Amino acid sequence: MNPSKTIISVKELVKSYGTLPAVKGISFEVYEGEIFGLLGPNGAGKTTTLEIMETLRSKTSGEVLINGLNVDTHPQEIKKIIGVQLQAAGYYPGLTLLELMQLFSGLYNRKINKMEMLAAVGLQDKAKAKHKELSGGQKQRFSIATTLINNPKIIFLDEPTTGLDPQARRNLWDLIRQIRDNGTTVVITTHYMDEAENLCDRVGVIESGKIIAMDTPDKLIDNLIASGFERKKEVKKANLEDVFLSLTGKEWKDE
Amino acid sequence: MNTPPYSQFQATLAITRASLKSIFRSPSAVIFSLMFPLIFIVVFGFIGGGNISVDVGFDKTSDTTNVLYKILAGENSGVNLVTYPTAAEMTADLKKGNTAAIISILPIDNLKDGKVKVNLQLCDASGRNGKIFQSQLNAIISTVNSMGTPIADMKIQMNQPTEIKGRAYKSIDFILPGQLGFSLLASGVFGTAFVFFSLRQTLVLKRFFATPIKRSGIIIGEAIARLIFAMMGSMVIILIGRFAFGFTLIHGFTTFLNMIALSALGLIVFMGFGFVVSGLAKNESSIPPFANLITMPQFLLAGTFFSIQNFPHWLQYVSYALPLTYLNDAMRKIAFEGAGLWDVHHQILIVVLWGVGIYLLAIKVFRWE
Ligand SMILES: Nc1ncnc2c1ncn2[C@@H]1O[C@H](COP(=O)(O)OP(=O)(O)OP(=O)(O)O)[C@@H](O)[C@H]1O
Ligand SMILES: [Mg+2]
């Protein structure tokens, strides 16, 4: 990681839907090679912010630079260097995963090893299944696989682990760390705090369109403790998730 | 990293390939573009013609003072005498099978034998209608001859019919081009409207937007897929028509190619209607009514099943405003008159004008999100 180098810079970003202000002037930076988490309650403006960075939505005002490219003037260039997993996206339902990978390989102009990419998200056994035949979590994993096709500099993941079973979630964390270790910057949103704590190098907390905190998870926790906060009850040495994982194993689950 | 410049073409082709696979796996697409036309061809092919009266070309130079003319021109003769500006046009129509026969009544040559002479030209293109008229005429002549009065000494004799080598005109030759035109309309309007609407709804388009392909590339990629699919459908319809129902391809492969070229033009124009529908439709269930509003009137009025000439005049004005009318017209001229594409440039021009208009509208109403 090279914490001094900024790869994404968002300044005074404002987005209004009609008269409803969804994002109210937020600024932050993402450093090259880190996993940056955007946290916040439903409707806080995470997806809106993400999709503006992905050049999929227009902004009302502010400046967004992705790898030095302005989203207003260079959307096509930006799309070539980012990988995008949308909170909600669709694929031709009647096509198999291999055929869809082929499609995206063409869309990104990249030659890929389709099977290897599917294996990265544990879908090698589903390669010949149609997209509509996948379970919700498998669809989610497929969507994540498509973000890696163009070997992107930055990937954006909008709630990638929502709907995943604990095994898939943990394996995905490993995958995301591995992607980060290969030099790709990761911007991720999540509602799971354990995930943010485990995975993210830094997090920004958004509420009602404003950033209300930004730091490393450790620092935020330390700050809270320093303010005199104490947990009501001491936690046990294991939790239900540990029980589930020890019962069902750590491998990707496919049927 | 040194990568070659991004190719929109490669990305567009990727969409075409994927979309084509997707279309082929969708039963409704196959039913719309193949099953319906073929069913109609079969059904209407068996119902056939059922003419009330036969059209007969009438030589303008004929003698109209004799009793034979009065009978033939009479109201209930079952014969409809048609005159033409030139003899060449009359012969041409006979060869196409549009008229059952050509009749000319020669003036009585009193110096010779004082008999009325009739020249009858038949052509195998008119099929049994020519034979029917010949026997009708024989019956009339023998009746007149046996009546004796008031022109007792008039004798009618019929010359040997001149068989002009034409070709058989079968009802499939009329029905197939119309069905082809209609299948293109249905596939263009319904197919395009549903595909773009559902790609938008299911957020497939949104995922495409996150890749470097341009929006025009997405439309072109999808459109090419639909075009390829519809052209394959057209080929299947023509080939089944040819080999199962004896559809006539006058100049063989050339006629086939001309029909396909015209099909492609028709489909591209009709896809414009589909874009308009997908832009205007608020939800999935409002697509069929919209699309029917466009396809149904053309289905009935554009000469798909019935010749437009059978409609009352005011309705014909409507017919002659519809693009499918011109596509059908051009398709028939190419298919059974053996015309080339240039011979139907007037019809093509009107279809193209419709295309320009509808795409201008489509650009206005089309929605991406
Ligand atoms: N297309 C839209 N039109 C109008 N309002 C919108 C639109 N998209 C989002 N909003 C509104 O903007 C606000 C922020 O929405 P956004 O999707 O960014 O939230 P989020 O933080 O991603 O929430 P969640 O955790 O539920 O995904 C919400 O109040 C939402 O209702
Ligand atoms: Mg969201």
Contact (Cβ atoms closer than 8 angstroms) between residue B54 and residue B100: yes
Structure tokens at B238: 């023509």
Q: Which residues contact B297 (CB under 8 A, 6 or more apart)?
A: B318, B322
Residue the block writes with tokens 């497939």: B204
Local structure of residue A96 (DSSP, 8 states): B
Q: Is the pLDDT of residue A4 over 50?
A: yes
Atom of ligand 1 nearest to the CA of A50: 18
Q: Is the pLDDT of residue A150 over 90?
A: yes
Domain ranges of chain B: 10-47+170-365, 55-164
Lowest mean pLDDT among A181-195, B45-59, B150-164, B270-284: B150-164
At residue A36 the predicted structure's pLDDT band, cuts being 50, 70 and 90, is: very high
- State the pLDDT at residue A176: 92
> Tens of pLDDT along B89-128?
888 888 777 788 888 887 776 666 667 778 888 877 666 6
Lowest mean pLDDT among A133-142, B207-216, B251-260, B302-311: B302-311
Q: Is the pLDDT of residue B44 over 70?
A: no
Q: What is the architecture of the domain spanning B55-164?
A: 3-Layer(aba) Sandwich (3.40)
> Per-residue pLDDT averaged across A139-165, rounded?
92
Lowest mean pLDDT among A154-158, A185-189, B229-233: B229-233
Query: A83 or B141, which is more confident?
Result: A83
Lowest mean pLDDT among A9-13, A118-122, B294-298: B294-298
Minimal Cβ distance to B206: which of A82, A86, A108:
A86
> Tens of pLDDT along B327-362?
988 988 888 777 888 888 888 999 999 999 999 998
At residue B155 the predicted structure's pLDDT band, cuts being 50, 70 and 90, is: low
Contact (Cβ atoms closer than 8 angstroms) between residue A176 and residue A200: no
Measured in Å, residue A23 CA sits from the centre of ligand 1 at 9
Q: A102–B19: do the CB atoms touch at under 8 Å?
A: no
Q: For residue A94, which residues of chain B lie inside 8 Å, CB to CB?
A: 21-22, 25-26
- ipTM for this prediction: 0.89
At residue B49 the predicted structure's pLDDT band, cuts being 50, 70 and 90, is: very low
Contact (Cβ atoms closer than 8 angstroms) between residue B227 and residue B268: yes
Q: Which domains, and CATH codes, for chain A?
A: 6-248 (3.40.50.300)
The alpha carbon of B108 is separated from its chain's Cα centroid by a whole number of angstroms, namely 44
Lowest mean pLDDT among A24-28, B59-63, B357-361: B59-63
A-B Cβ pairs (cutoff 8 Å, strict):
85
> Tens of pLDDT along A221-246?
888 888 777 777 666 777 777 777 77
Measured in Å, residue A202 CA sits from the centre of ligand 1 at 23
Contact (Cβ atoms closer than 8 angstroms) between residue B337 and residue B348: no
Q: Is the pLDDT of residue B150 over 60?
A: no
Query: A201 or B284, which is more confident?
Result: A201
- Rounded distance between C-alpha atoms, residue A208 and residue A210, angstroms: 6
- Does the C-beta of A209 come closer than 6 Å to ligand 1? no
- Rounded distance between C-alpha atoms, residue B348 and residue B257, angstroms: 16
- State the pLDDT at residue B109: 67
